[in-house]
Structure 1
Amino acid sequence: MSTYHPRQIAISDYNYSLPEEQIAQFPLEERDQSKLLLYRNGRISDARFTDLPSALPPQSLLVFNDTKVVQARLRFQKATGGTIELFCLEPLEPVREVQQAMQQTFSVVWKCLVGNNKRWREGRLEMPLGPYPEDGALWAERLAPAEEGFAIHFTWSPGNQTFAEVLERAGLLPLPPYMNRDAEESDQERYQTIYAAEAGAVAAPTAGLHFTPAVMQEIEARGHEQAFVTLHVGAGTFKPVKSDVMEHHYMHGEQLSVSREFIERLLHHGNRPVIAVGTTSMRTLESLYWLGAGIYLGLLPGEEEELSLPQWFPYDVRTTISVQEALEALLYYLNSHKLTHLQANTHILIAPGYQFKICSGLVTNFHQPQSTLLLLVSALIGPSWQKVYRHALANNYRFLSYGDSSLLLP
């Protein structure tokens, strides 16, 4: 256990200058033609993403996040001509689990960001769901302030549609704030991974955007394995760190869902490499160890009976529990609760000083300065993150969501 505590990290130590022209505003024509920076044991080389299968350590298990981005932005026109935009963040009622919330009919309550809130003095907002009256409508009623947003009560007609179907008809794709444009038709396809399956994210797990069927077939042909977890990426992934030190930064929570079969597979994978495809997959994998350790030690779940991993748990809990023991504790928990899937909230902050338990490498894009995602990269490869980012900037790599990729093997 490291004595270094990330609470003391100064975010200003994780800054760099990112020119506007190196932020990718649109994807490349072909997903897998992006550049791939290879970092292996301190050495850097340049490749194409199609080279990834041959660059992986032998017998790797690649873990993908199969969350699907929902059209979470709702733009209501007021009768007076003004626009109110609602950005759905997370479900509040009648259920808080994202996948269940997406299947609700008739009405839901979600926490939303409200654009132009001052112009919304009172009353319900209304949006037609099509050009004809029989197509129905969506209504939004503001209930009360919620942390970093408002509780919004949505109702719709016809009421037998699921909320997922309503968003599909009424919503807009939520591109990241650093893309200074509205979503276009092409984004409907390109801002989703080809394996997206579980609706609930408000941002794409962007490391996965480079994968094509050909790349995934080549990964298998070279003797690697592939597996899927679900972590619904929240808007908090773009939340800037505003405090000088991390002690005062509240890490956003995200919902994860992992099958019993996946945990068993991880258990039997032994000491072979586990490569996370994206920071969200890495967050999920490392959370599994700490959730299992917390259950093993009797520290989790808390009084609320919901499994939730606190931000500083990995740094404050001293334990020598093995990965095998932690995963077996998760299986015991599933069996005793007669569950097929582990569902939990994770607030884990992976930052320098973190000791990795499951992941041995990472496929990831290039992240914003002074972000928690950059802290995660530094936790994995140490101060070499600066060398990697200098190389990427000097060699015209494209940055952020639609940008190029890297394979980081410490």
Structure 2
Amino acid sequence: MKRQDFYYDLPEELIAQDPLKDRSSSRLLVLDKESGAVSHHVFREITDYLEAGDCLVINDTKVIPARLIGSKIGTNAKIEILLLKRKENNVWETLVKPGKKAKIGTRISFGDGLLVGEVIDIVEEGNRLVQFTFDGIFEEILDQLGQMPLPPYITHQLEDKDRYNTVYAAHSGSAAAPTAGLHFTPELLEEIQKKGVDIARVTLHVGLGTFRPVKVDEITDHHMHSEFYQIGEEAAEKINRAKENGHRVICVGTTSCRTIESAADENGHMEAKSGWTEIFIYPGYRFKVLDCLITNFHLPESTLIMLVSALAGREHVLAAYEEAVKERYRFFSFGDAMLIR
């Protein structure tokens, strides 16, 4: 299966640059995965498609202001660091730009020395391990100095950092938002629960590997980067109960989907567990747990459009995307949503 099989044409002006003031007023395209039929709605109407006994799985990871702009100690050259994975002893795996200025031993100052990083190793794909020294609490310093790591197709910083997090974000650690969750408001979640729908919280810390372009022609040659996930007892019980009683498991976002599909056994049974996943879902994959998916519109030739194609079929997905372009939907992180049912 070729990367080019997942290409579609997108006018640049349909890439959403800002979130809507009212999260739940995004548009919602509903796609029937069997027939390919589509219909057009407003996101808050998602409740019409949820039934008592269903389980809605949400990813409660929190994006940290992981983008740091500093200067190289000794030359004052500008260096940008993106925090990817927390290790031990204040060490992070990072993406450094420009990489050629970040040899082992390089020291970088942020906020006039409030935070200092030293490159201690080079890992796969040229990423650097950086050890930080500081006085105080790292998270507070990061909140003061860091910027939200917005995708490259968003051309300006957010006025309100919170808008790149879901209203239920709880566990810090992501370098990117689980964007399908951005459409939910506390009121909408309350309405969903009143309807008798169980909400299961799982955590997957989203790394940049999710968004890395597929560069190989044959998609099976693409390697996914590992991401940390965690599923508690309560979430596992809710998911299992829905399946056992013949109800549906509906994931909010590809990250929730990858979490439960990574953790389930061959029969789709869930247990509380945590670990690292490199799962790559593309057409031909047999879903063990997931029945329906709420998701945003994804980049052409990305692993994410491959995942939704595994659920609804490539032809149905590309036809739905063509319809969304025609109807002037907003695309990508701050764009509109799609329900595949």
| TM-score computed with the length of structure 2 as normaliser | 0.93
Kindly state the Cα deviation for residue 59 of structure 1 after the two structures are TM-superposed.
Answer: 2.9
Task: Name 1:91's counterpart in structure 2.
Answer: 86
| Structure 2 CA distance for aligned equivalents of residues 407 and 178 of structure 1 | 24
Q: CA RMSD in A?
A: 1.7
Residue 389 of structure 1 aligns to a residue whose secondary structure is: helix
Kindly state the Cα deviation for residue 120 of structure 1 after the two structures are TM-superposed.
Answer: 4.5
Task: Name 1:101's counterpart in structure 2.
Answer: none
Greater C-alpha radius of gyration: 1
| Structure 1 CA distance for aligned equivalents of residues 252 and 47 of structure 2 | 13
Find 1:348's aligned residue among 264, 279, 283.
279
Counterparts of 1:6-21 in structure 2 under 5 Å? 9-21=1-13
Kindly state the Cα deviation for residue 248 of structure 1 after the two structures are TM-superposed.
Answer: 1.9
Task: Name 2:268's counterpart in structure 1.
Answer: 323
Task: Name 2:221's counterpart in structure 1.
Answer: 248
Task: Give the residue type in structure 1 aligned to 2:336.
Answer: D
| Structure 1 CA distance for aligned equivalents of residues 44 and 310 of structure 2 | 27
Residues 136-179 of structure 1, C-alpha deviations (whole Å, 9 max, x = no match):
72111111211120111111124xx2x32332222111001111
Task: Name 2:118's counterpart in structure 1.
Answer: 141
Higher mean alpha-carbon deviation, 66-75 vs 266-275, is at 266-275
Residues 25-76 of structure 1, C-alpha deviations (whole Å, 9 max, x = no match):
1111211110000112422110001100012245321010000000111110
Q: Does 1:155 align with 2:120?
A: no
Task: Give the residue type in structure 1 aligned to 2:214.
Answer: V
| Structure 2 CA distance for aligned equivalents of residues 227 and 29 of structure 1 | 26
Task: Name 2:159's counterpart in structure 1.
Answer: 185
Task: Give the residue type in structure 1 aligned to 2:335.
Answer: G
Contact kept, 8 Å, 2:263 with 2:273, in 1: the verdict is: no
| Structure 1 segments unaligned to the other structure (5+ residues) | 1-8, 95-106, 130-135, 294-321, 331-340
Residues 283-315 of structure 1, C-alpha deviations (whole Å, 9 max, x = no match):
0111121xx34xxxxxxxxxxxxxxxxxxxxxx
Contact kept, 8 Å, 2:261 with 2:287, in 1: the verdict is: yes
| Structure 1 CA distance for aligned equivalents of residues 278 and 286 of structure 2 | 16
Task: Name 1:395's counterpart in structure 2.
Answer: 327
Residues 358-410 of structure 1, C-alpha deviations (whole Å, 9 max, x = no match):
1110000000000000011100001210111011010000000000001111x
Contact kept, 8 Å, 2:30 with 2:339, in 1: the verdict is: yes
Task: Name 1:112's counterpart in structure 2.
Answer: 94
Task: Give the residue type in structure 1 aligned to 2:171.
Answer: E
| Structure 2 CA distance for aligned equivalents of residues 199 and 57 of structure 1 | 31
Kindly state the Cα deviation for residue 180 of structure 1 after the two structures are TM-superposed.
Answer: 2.2
Find 1:33's aligned residue among 21, 25, 40.
25
Task: Name 2:110's counterpart in structure 1.
Answer: 127
| Structure 2 CA distance for aligned equivalents of residues 287 and 347 of structure 1 | 8
Counterparts of 1:75-86 in structure 2 under 5 Å? 75-78=69-72, 80-86=75-81
Find 2:144's aligned residue among 131, 155, 169.
169
Q: Does 1:55 align with 2:49?
A: yes
Contact kept, 8 Å, 1:251 with 1:348, in 2: the verdict is: yes
Kindly state the Cα deviation for residue 280 of structure 1 after the two structures are TM-superposed.
Answer: 0.3
Higher mean alpha-carbon deviation, 210-219 vs 67-76, is at 210-219
| Structure 1 CA distance for aligned equivalents of residues 190 and 50 of structure 2 | 14
Mark the CA change 1:123 to 1:243 in structure 2 (over 3 Å): closer, same or farther.
Answer: closer
| Structure 1 CA distance for aligned equivalents of residues 260 and 210 of structure 2 | 17
Task: Give the residue type in structure 1 aligned to 2:120.
Answer: L
Residue 257 of structure 2 aligns to a residue whose secondary structure is: helix
| Structure 2 segments unaligned to the other structure (5+ residues) | none
Task: Name 2:66's counterpart in structure 1.
Answer: 72
Task: Name 2:196's counterpart in structure 1.
Answer: 223
Contact kept, 8 Å, 1:54 with 1:222, in 2: the verdict is: no
Task: Give the residue type in structure 1 aligned to 2:226.
Answer: G
Residue 334 of structure 2 aligns to a residue whose secondary structure is: coil
Number of aligned positions between the proteins: 333
Kindly state the Cα deviation for residue 80 of structure 1 after the two structures are TM-superposed.
Answer: 4.2
| Structure 1 CA distance for aligned equivalents of residues 312 and 124 of structure 2 | 34
| Structure 2 CA distance for aligned equivalents of residues 402 and 375 of structure 1 | 20
Higher mean alpha-carbon deviation, 251-260 vs 37-46, is at 37-46
Higher mean alpha-carbon deviation, 373-382 vs 166-175, is at 166-175
Kindly state the Cα deviation for residue 204 of structure 1 after the two structures are TM-superposed.
Answer: 0.4
Q: Does 1:384 align with 2:341?
A: no
Contact kept, 8 Å, 2:71 with 2:78, in 1: the verdict is: yes
